[in-house]
Structure 1
Amino acid sequence: MLDPRPILYTLGALICMLAAGMILPLLVDVIAGNKDWEIFMLAMFLTLTIGGMLMLANQGTGDNLNLRQAFLLTSLTWAVLPAFAALPLAFSELNLSYTDAYFEAMSGLTTTGSTVISGLDNAPPGLLLWRALLQWFGGIGIIVMAVAVLPMLQVGGMQVFKAESFDTVEKILPRAGQISLSISGLYVAFTALCMLFYMIAGMSMFDALAHSMTTIATGGFSTSDGSIGHFDSFAIDMVTILFMIVGSIPFVLFLQILRGKPLAIWRDEQVRAFSKLTLFLCFSVTLWLVIWKDFSPEEAFRYGAFNIISILTGTGFASTDYSQWGGFSATLFFFVMFIGGCAGSTSCGIKIFRFQVLFKSMQSWVNHIVRPNGMFVPTYNKRPITHDVRSSVMAFMSLFFATFIVLALGVASTGVDWITAFSSAGTALANVGPGLGEQVGPAGNFSGLNDSAKWMMSFGMLIGRLELFSVLVLFSPTFWRG
């Protein structure tokens, strides 16, 4: 029988931490003289009360989780926290329905970046900061989950990143705590550095703070409906590109650099592949804009590189309406959104390493067909790729695209056109942000979708962020039978 008490205790602690995060936007609204500070006060009190009750009711139940408890806690955390994070949005002067507020909060915590809010330029500063904080919290949570939890749960080939000195699922929470301490400082430092660069490039302190949080989290929420394009600054675009890439690189590699291994990043196969792919895409889009769209080389690089990197990393910022570039760009951006950055970063999507495992496995199989008596063992970072890793990756990718088709058909059944349905499903499952077309493209938002589509997309964001198996395993009767 599954014991829910350790799960509820940990969930209560996380809810209390979310409540504490409401203090900052509350203070910002007080300073700005905005009455929404009262909403934050009530939401914080309600959230803290429920979180505290869960902790007190389950105190002393232990902090060690078995495999089933870890799966359930992971899914519950990312499903329940948006329900509380939505409260300030639902009762604010924006007059959002709870469906819209939950969609926005889920988009924030999963660092997706899709929004239903119009008029961001005139929105209360506390709410703008709250949206940025949600993505910032989600970013650090994703890193810890990807480094400490998913490898232990052997989700989608993530076991390839399992630390050799840490093999037992029962130690997930202590391990997560250790990793949090070391990575959080680095995460804060990168955020502060990004904020400083933004201010030097011309942003106000408030805009720099909000955008630094959403950039390093590769989230994409902005303080303006025009996103980064609102600032119309080459310097700001370049700062954004730099830190979108930083957020898409495994943070444990940055820690290794700080510990005296300066070549750790370049020695990692995943980072090398990500770097080569980024350069290739930037060069291709820039060249295409110069030849076919009559852009100057500087404009082509500025707008082409920015937007393709934003989509590749799953950040979702936009510096211009790239949907107006024609069918080629729309098709390219649609496929690129599924790739994502590196595992162990704040980036999203399928992840580079899974494509590497897939291609290496295919190469090994082709070599075996040509030379049946030969021994061909695919390797990753100079280590053999085991059969369970290969099977797990292939199962993940098959399930990913099957889920994408089902989700797209579900969104299409609500009455939207096929471009909107497929790009909405893709951007939700890959946690990218903007879709394609006039309605949900970089110049629009998701407010025009009906409530059914928004709930389906919220579920898509959840399972996409948690690597599918972490959530879908809960629908198996075998899981509940133990």
Structure 2
Amino acid sequence: MKIITLDLRPVLSILGVFLTGLALTMLVPTSMDLLDNNNNWLGFMMSAAITSFIGVTLILITRGKKEIIEIKSTFLLVTLSWMILSIFSSLPFFFSQNNLGITESFFESVSGLTTTGSTTINNIQDASRGLLLWRAILQWLGGIGIIVSAVSILPSLGVGGMQLFRLESSDSSEKLLPRATSIATEITVLYLFLSGLCAIAYWFSGLSIFDSIIHSMTTIATGGFSSQQGSIGAYNNLSLEIMCILFMIFSSLPFVLYLKAIRGKPYLIFKDEQVQGFFKILISSILIIILYLSFLEDFDFFSSLRSVIFNVTSILTGTGFSTDSYDNWGTPVIVVFLCITFIGGCAGSTTCGIKVFRIQVIFKNSKQMIEKLISPNRVTNHKYNGENLSLEIIESVMTFLFIFILTFFIITLILALTGLDLLTSMSASATSISNVGPGLGNIIGPNFNFSELSNIAKWALSFGMLAGRLEFLTFLVIFSKSFWK
């Protein structure tokens, strides 16, 4: 059997650049805590020193090698990037004064970079401003990485049906990095613009400059980290909630469509099947919950509408902000929230989950199968946004869905074996692989966090967050024997 040895030098070189950049980023919260005369700045400095040392070392030992990334190397680079960056991003948490252990620090880091938003930190408002800023920075950086991967890398790798969104001149011809670099520039500029616009909107809504920046970064990344224990609900600010709803929706739509709108084709946003499907799911979920709540004795239409719209939007987009204990609204409501936790937003955005387009592809394929049962000789050819749904795409989507469901059940079982109840186990598993944030129930619900879970549960959820963010196949492929042959 022929063995193909991967050239790891280009991968290690890029990882070195990433780590060096991460170390420089750590200087921002370092400065914040230094200005506040908070001793946490020492932890950030130590973390930056360790990270920069490893990063520069990787660059030096791989210098002189032209960075041409092959397909296998791309899979390895994407997976290792998220894993290695998560490890080094956890150092500031570990060295902080919040007494976080290795497990909690890694969990917090993974939750940040994958834009999940689950946390193990109690009384978060008492943490140093540097640490709060670091959490927001992780989610903001993770959001950029997610969009660039979804737009320029995953389609070329054919992961989970993402080839539907393959851009012009995008291919799988062993030279993916230049394409990723070119699209990253446009995406980053747009991402910066939306972040700034969101921060200004929050500031005008009454937040302090610091809180506006923190929440704008975690909103655009659909991450959900907050500087308040009670999340957005702690402010009890209607104008803030309205702005937050709008920017959560903006961030959950395909960013490529915004670029096309800027180039004079804004109508493409409303013609896009995925966008249409997203709004149908959003509006339907809101109406179903409002209809159910209207039969309750203490129902108040306007307050209920305000709370339902915000929290449904937050969970569907995978942001994870909360303004109410929606898990106390009744079993039917819990079922709806659990369903939209799985779905997520649109491909090409910062959201995760199954994603709207895969739901639509499955429905189209199911419809085609039913039509064949009725008329076996009938030839049907379904399209998605004008593109033919090939067998390759359908198989890719179905494979993704199978692994998604299998991972959900495995993590649920692991959590149940640690002694957690079924609702907590299921919602924790769902929120980790869908990168949403809060779970359901009296342990990890919107008013609680993940600090009470066992270390085994936290490691299982960390694995789920990484696997979900990397679209499962990208993550699992490097563990297959055939990958190294």
Question: Which residue of 2 is the match for residue 447 of structure 1?
Answer: 451
Q: Secondary structure at the match of 1:291?
A: coil
Cα distance in 2 between the residues matched to 1:169 and 1:205: 46
Code of the residue aligned with 1:5 in structure 2: it is R
The answer to whether the 8 A contact 2:285-2:336 is kept is no
- Residue of structure 1 aligned with 2:369, choices 344, 365, 369: 365
Code of the residue aligned with 2:301 in structure 1: it is P
Aligned counterparts, 1:257-296, within 5 A: 257-292=261-296, 294-296=298-300
- Residue of structure 2 aligned with 1:429, choices 430, 433, 440: 433
Question: Which residue of 1 is the match for residue 331 of structure 2?
Answer: 327
Question: Which residue of 1 is the match for residue 341 of structure 2?
Answer: 337
Cα distance in 1 between the residues matched to 2:121 and 2:173: 41
Question: Which residue of 2 is the match for residue 199 of structure 1?
Answer: 203
Question: Which residue of 2 is the match for residue 17 of structure 1?
Answer: 21
Cα distance in 2 between the residues matched to 1:175 and 1:456: 34
Unaligned runs of 5+ in 1: none
Aligned counterparts, 1:211-360, within 5 A: 211-292=215-296, 294-360=298-364
The answer to whether the 8 A contact 2:157-2:172 is kept is no
Code of the residue aligned with 2:326 in structure 1: it is Y
- Output one character per residue of 1:86-129: Cα deviation in whole Å (capped at 9) or x when no partner: 11111111010011010000000000000000111111000000
Q: How far is 1:169 from its partner?
A: 3.9
**Quick check: 1:392 aligned with 2:396?**
yes
**Quick check: 1:90 aligned with 2:63?**
no
Unaligned runs of 5+ in 2: none
**Quick check: 1:51 aligned with 2:55?**
yes
The answer to whether the 8 A contact 1:251-1:344 is kept is yes
- Output one character per residue of 1:245-296: Cα deviation in whole Å (capped at 9) or x when no partner: 0110010100111111111201111011111211222222233323326332
- Residue of structure 2 aligned with 1:74, choices 66, 74, 78: 78
CA shift in 2, pair 1:95/1:469, >3 Å: same
Cα distance in 2 between the residues matched to 1:12 and 1:415: 41
Cα distance in 2 between the residues matched to 1:216 and 1:140: 10
Q: How far is 1:413 from its partner?
A: 1.5
Cα distance in 1 between the residues matched to 2:301 and 2:403: 41
Code of the residue aligned with 1:326 in structure 2: it is G
The answer to whether the 8 A contact 2:368-2:380 is kept is yes
- Identity percentage of aligned residues: 46
Cα distance in 2 between the residues matched to 1:25 and 1:288: 45
Q: Pairwise CA RMSD of aligned residues?
A: 1.1
Question: Which residue of 2 is the match for residue 4 of structure 1?
Answer: 8
Code of the residue aligned with 2:151 in structure 1: it is V
Cα distance in 2 between the residues matched to 1:59 and 1:387: 43
- Residue of structure 2 aligned with 1:154, choices 147, 155, 158: 158
Q: Secondary structure at the match of 1:277?
A: helix
Q: Secondary structure at the match of 2:178?
A: helix
Code of the residue aligned with 1:229 in structure 2: it is G
Question: Which residue of 2 is the match for residue 409 of structure 1?
Answer: 413
Cα distance in 2 between the residues matched to 1:53 and 1:98: 24
Cα distance in 2 between the residues matched to 1:105 and 1:460: 13
- Output one character per residue of 1:428-477: Cα deviation in whole Å (capped at 9) or x when no partner: 11111011111111111101111111111101100000000011111211
Q: How far is 1:185 from its partner?
A: 0.5
Q: When the two structures are superposed, what TM-score results if normalisation uses the length of structure 2? A: 0.98
Code of the residue aligned with 1:436 in structure 2: it is L
Aligned counterparts, 1:112-123, within 5 A: 112-123=116-127
Code of the residue aligned with 1:335 in structure 2: it is C
Cα distance in 2 between the residues matched to 1:63 and 1:112: 31
The answer to whether the 8 A contact 1:285-1:305 is kept is no
The answer to whether the 8 A contact 2:114-2:139 is kept is yes
- Output one character per residue of 1:177-210: Cα deviation in whole Å (capped at 9) or x when no partner: 1011001010000000101110111111101100
Question: Which residue of 1 is the match for residue 468 of structure 2?
Answer: 464
- Runs of 4+ off more than 3 Å: none
Code of the residue aligned with 1:159 in structure 2: it is Q
The answer to whether the 8 A contact 1:253-1:264 is kept is yes
Code of the residue aligned with 1:158 in structure 2: it is M
Code of the residue aligned with 1:113 in structure 2: it is G
Q: How many residues align?
A: 481
**Quick check: 1:166 aligned with 2:208?**
no
Cα distance in 2 between the residues matched to 1:169 and 1:421: 42
Q: Secondary structure at the match of 1:473?
A: helix
Question: Which residue of 2 is the match for residue 420 of structure 1?
Answer: 424
Cα distance in 1 between the residues matched to 2:217 and 2:290: 28
Cα distance in 2 between the residues matched to 1:378 and 1:478: 33
CA shift in 2, pair 1:151/1:256, >3 Å: same
Cα distance in 2 between the residues matched to 1:390 and 1:167: 19
**Quick check: 1:142 aligned with 2:142?**
no
- Residue of structure 2 aligned with 1:109, choices 105, 108, 113: 113
- Output one character per residue of 1:391-428: Cα deviation in whole Å (capped at 9) or x when no partner: 10011101110111011111211222222111111111
Cα distance in 2 between the residues matched to 1:252 and 1:73: 23
Code of the residue aligned with 2:105 in structure 1: it is A
Cα distance in 2 between the residues matched to 1:295 and 1:186: 41
